[in-house]
Amino acid sequence: DVKVTQSSRYLVKRTGEKVFLECVQDMDHENMFWYRQDPGLGLRLIYFSYDVKMKEKGDIPEGYSVSREKKERFSLILESASTNQTSMYLCASSRDSYTIYFGEGSWLTVV
């Protein structure tokens, strides 16, 4: 079975802290994605990557950065966490035109 693993399920961070959310997939997928999900807004794309060291901005990249040093790992970085970044973050991976696989989600609370 394809597995997309997010390192942290629940996090509480203070305003201004640097936050790392890690995602690892085990199926050699080229494409990896970070989304956030908020009530009433659905899933919104933050960043995505089609290859190692390649990244592209999604719809809401402000306040976030990403890193993809290895094909299996895609990290989301909040340089200086703010309360409006409290959300559920979902990582996903896929091969072009094939099924997309999601992680279990990371619930981040910024206080």
Partner 1 sequence: KNEVEQSPQNLTAQEGEFITINCSYSVGISALHWLQQHPGGGIVSLFMLSSGKKKHGRLIATINIQEKHSSLHITASHPRDSAVYICAVDRMEYGNKLVFGAGTILRVKS
- 20, β-bridge pairs: 77
- Which residues here bind partner 1, judged by CB under 8 A? 31, 33, 37, 40-45, 48, 50, 58, 88, 90, 92, 94, 96-105, 107
Q: 73, 101 in Cβ contact below 8 A? A: no
Of 3 and 18, CB closest to partner 1: 3
Shortest Å distance, C-beta 31 to partner 1: 5
CA 81 to CA 98: how far, in whole Å? 34
Reduced to 3 states, what is the DSSP secondary structure of residue 16?
Answer: coil
Of 20 and 50, CB closest to partner 1: 50
Six-digit token pair at 8? Answer: 């942290």
- 102, β-bridge pairs: 92
CA 19 to CA 82: how far, in whole Å? 10
Shortest Å distance, C-beta 45 to partner 1: 6
Shortest Å distance, C-beta 109 to partner 1: 14
Shortest Å distance, C-beta 102 to partner 1: 4
Of 37 and 80, CB closest to partner 1: 37
